[in-house]
Structure 1
Amino acid sequence: MPLQRGGVAKAMAVHVPLCVLVVTGQILIVDRVSLSFGVVPERALDSILAYGLRSYGDLFTVIYWAILGAHAAMRWHEAWRAEAVRAARLSSDLAQAQLAALRAQLQPHFLFNALNAVVALVSEDPPAAKRVTVRLAELLRATLAATERSSLPLREELELTRRYLDIEQVRFAERLRVEWSVDADVLDCEVPAFVLQPLVENALVHAIAPRAAGGQVAIGAARVPGGLRLSVRDDGPGPVAVAPTRGSGTGLRNLRDRLDRLYDGRASLSLTRARRRARGGGRGADSCAGRLTRGAACLVRAGGEHRRTRPLQQGPHLGCGKRWRRHLRREGGR
């Protein structure tokens, strides 16, 4: 019976008499062995016990309590580990439940936007409305296949984004011009599921929809020192009334919350405006930018700082640790 926390008195009431019995038995065993080898003469029981207690009593007592203490320590350690595993499992289950709730919020929000596009086309262009409905069914089928995962290869994320843009292309027609710039050697990198769609939607809402002439949306993915950069850029004026570091829509709030859950607060998402001069005079262009980190080994810049290359190239940064950087270098050498 090991010592238990909260029951020391009860345990001592058991182990003190048990220790006396064990030590007495050990003394008698040592005496019998010594007698068989002729080391000691035959003696009375009281003499055996008196001599044994003087010679071995302290040693046998220390050994008994040392074994008992080691056993109790092992039991306490096992209980602590079991509690730590249980707490970690509960924390993981909670995080998964929160991510599932956020994904569940994303699906109705996206479906609502897509159905709005269908409604807008029903009276104006019924054939286009039919095409959008078919493409929406295809997109929802692909989305359901990916919705159970918190991350997926970039090539799958880009395919989901392309299907989404196919629907919006029918709605906006020539008003929407899409440019893709994706390095082939990053297509197998894991990214958070549905990380691009809210950013693309933000560009469509603030850069394409308000303008009769529409505009251009550029989607890029490229390696940068320390990770992978995803960028969604547009040439629109951007949301004037929105604070530069906060997203205003459900999609962006949802994305920011998912990044917080996935990356434990080491991810940030912000709306930034990059001013540039276009030929013939131009206005500022907005991009939705963020930075993600894979873990404690990542080099994380100060919150909200972006790698500046040329105008409109801020974007979601996927930082990574040493192992993923080695993977990127290896994939790039193929």
Structure 2
Amino acid sequence: KSEATIIGFNDKWIMLLGIPLLGSIMPFIFFSACRNAPISESYISITTSIINTFIFWQIDKKIIIYFRKKFPEHKDYIKRLTYQLVVLAITTYLLLIIIIWALGYLPHEPHVASPTHTEAIAGTYTITALVLAIYEAMYFFDLWKIEILENEKLKTENTKAQLEVLKNQVNPHFLFNSFNTLVAIIPDSPEIAVKFTTELSNFYRYILAFKDKELIPVQQELNSIDSYIYLLKIRFQDNLVIEKGEDFPSEMYMPPLSLQILVENAVKHNIVSKSKPLTISITYENNQICVANNYQPKQEAPSTQTGLKNIAKRYELITHESISITNTRHLFKVCLPLIHVKSL
């Protein structure tokens, strides 16, 4: 791995700015001789401080990288940090003693501002502490970014998994009802049975084509519902009236099979008979597709509303929008918001 990968960021600019800055201000913070001397007499101390800062920064960085490679797991953070602190403290002290010893052999003019040993130790340990703080802070910032990305990835995968479950709830109901109808009409009306099979094939082809899509154009959804309406009309004859409006927007999108679920929901939970025909309308209203029917519920156990919950959950997962449900004594109506793909 590269150094940038191990430490979690490219430290070039931090070093280019940090080394001269720290090296320049350290003498005036820790070295009393520099604070009390004219700037003209402090330039050698400042230059020496910048060089020392560069040396210690590089050594500290190598030690940090070594222990990052030795203890890469986050669970070993305390162990790694403990080793780093001990090794950095010892290395910093020994290296400082060597530098002070080496500088003692260089020509030294009395008027040049120089630190005491205590001041040099304090300043050097401050540099080491700051370097360690910078790299550890960036390490945790990098972990935080990774955690955010992983959480978003997990949410996305979870959403996709939930959508797959919701999509798979649709097919069994549809196929079961369709095959029952087909079995009933084959003996008496083979020609109609052939047409029925063709429309059933068309609709199932649509299901296969768009089963992996989260959204499809409104017009494609409307085309598919035509085949589904034909299948229902064969089953219920004149007892079922389905009215589909016009002027639906072509540039809008919606989750696939939404209309089929709503129409099936209306047929499933309402009386459909010669004395009480069921009328279903599909219309476009204020950027919504609405499916409404005259409300004549069957006398049966209360509905679990699986179909409506399915659609509501899909809208929540994909668009964070809500569907609208109106239920009065004589009318049941569900409106689905149409979606601009660019708005997602």
What range is the shorter-chain TM-score in?
A: 0.5 to 0.7
Q: Between 70-79 and 151-160, report the one with greater CA deviation.
A: 151-160
For residue 109 of structure 1, what is the aligned residue in structure 2?
A: 173
Aligned length in residues:
269
> Percent identity over the alignment?
23
Letter paired with 2:258? V
> Does 2:259 correspond to 1:196?
yes
Which residue number corresponds to residue 84 of structure 2? 11
* Equivalent residue, structure 1, for 2:40: none
Change in CA separation of 1:158 and 1:221 when aligned onto 2, cut-off 3 Å: same
- Cα distance in 2 between the residues matched to 1:233 and 1:58: 80
What root-mean-square deviation, in Å, do the aligned CA atoms of Structure 1 and Structure 2 show? 3.4
CA distance in 1: counterparts of 2:194 and 2:217, whole angstroms:
31
**Post-superposition shift, 1:158?**
1.5
Alpha carbons of structure 1 residues 127 and 64: separation in structure 2 relative to 1, 3 Å: same
Match of 2:229 in 1: 165
Given the superposition, is the C-alpha separation of residues 319 and 137 from structure 1 closer, same or farther in structure 2, using an over 3 Å criterion? closer
Equivalent residue number for residue 67 of structure 1? 131
Alpha-carbon offset, residue 72 of structure 1 = 0.9
SS of match in other structure, 1:177? strand
Alpha-carbon offset, residue 119 of structure 1 = 1.9
Q: Secondary structure at the match of 1:237?
A: coil
SS of corresponding position for 2:285: strand
Give the C-alpha shift of residue 161 in structure 1.
1.6
Show the counterpart of 1:316: 336
Change (3 A) 1:189 1:173: same
Contact 2:252 2:340 in 1 (8 A): no
Which of 294, 298, 308 lines up with 1:252 in the alignment?
308
Write out per-residue CA displacement over residues 183-228 of structure 1, whole angstroms, 9 at most, x where no aligned residue. 34x32212122221111112233456344563422101233xxxx2
Which of 211, 214, 220 is the equivalent residue of 2:277? 214
The change in CA–CA distance for 1:13 and 1:119 in structure 2 (over 3 A counts) is same
- 1:226-283 per-residue CA deviation (whole Å, 9 max, x = no partner) reads xx2221112352356676xxx535433433443444356x63564x4335xxxxxxxx
Matches within 5 A, 1:31-110: 31=103, 35=106, 40=109, 51=115, 53-110=117-174
CA contact (8 A) 1:230 1:318 kept: yes
Question: Which structure's residues are more often strand, by fraction?
Answer: 1
Is 1:153–1:190's contact at 8 Å kept on the other side of the alignment? yes
Q: What secondary structure, in the 3-state scheme, does the structure 2 residue paired with 1:286 have?
A: strand
Q: How far apart in 2 are the matches of 1:61 and 1:12?
A: 11
* C-alpha separation in 2, matches of 1:126 and 1:161: 23
SS in structure 1 of the partner of residue 288 of structure 2: strand
Q: Which residue of 1 aligns with 2:5?
A: none
Q: Identify if the C-alpha distance between structure 1 residues 319 and 97 changes in structure 2 by more than 3 Å, giving closer, same or farther.
A: closer
Correspondences of 1:177-326 after superposition (within 5 Å): 177-184=241-248, 186-207=249-270, 209-212=272-275, 214-223=277-286, 228-239=287-298, 248=304, 250-262=306-318, 267=322, 270=325, 272-275=326-329, 284-287=330-333, 289=334, 315-318=335-338, 324=343
Highest Rg: 1 or 2?
2
**1:19 positional shift:** 2.2
Structure 1 residues 150 and 28: alpha-carbon distance in aligned structure 2, compared to 1, 3 A threshold: farther
User: Which structure 2 residue ranges, 5 or more long, are not aligned?
Assistant: 1-62, 69-75
Q: Which residue is equivalent to 1:148?
A: 212
Counterpart of 2:311, as a letter, is L
Find 2:239's aligned residue among 175, 194, 215.
175
Local SS of the residue matching 2:258: coil
Letter in 2 for 1:6: I
Partner Cα distance (2:280, 2:100) in 1: 89
Q: Which runs of 4+ in 1 moved over 4 A?
A: 24-29, 239-243, 318-321
Measure, in 1, the Cα distance between the counterparts of 2:139 and 2:87. 18
TM-score scaled by length of structure 2:
0.66
Amino acid at match of 1:267: S
Question: Equivalent residue for 1:305?
Answer: none
Q: 1:165 to 1:13 in 2, by over 3 A?
A: same
| Structure 1 pair 15–236 and aligned structure 2 pair: CA distance change class (3 A) | same
Deviation (angstroms), 1:84 = 2.4
| SS of alignment partner, residue 304 of structure 2 | coil
Task: Give the CA deviation at 1:144.
Answer: 0.6
The answer on whether the counterparts of 1:238 and 1:285 sit within 8 Å (CA) in structure 2 is: no
Q: Residue 316 of structure 1 aligns to a residue in which SS?
A: strand
- Name whichever structure is richer in helix by fraction: 2
Q: 1:138 aligns with which of 194, 198, 202?
A: 202
Pick closer, same or farther for the CA change 1:82–1:199 going to 2, 3 Å.
same
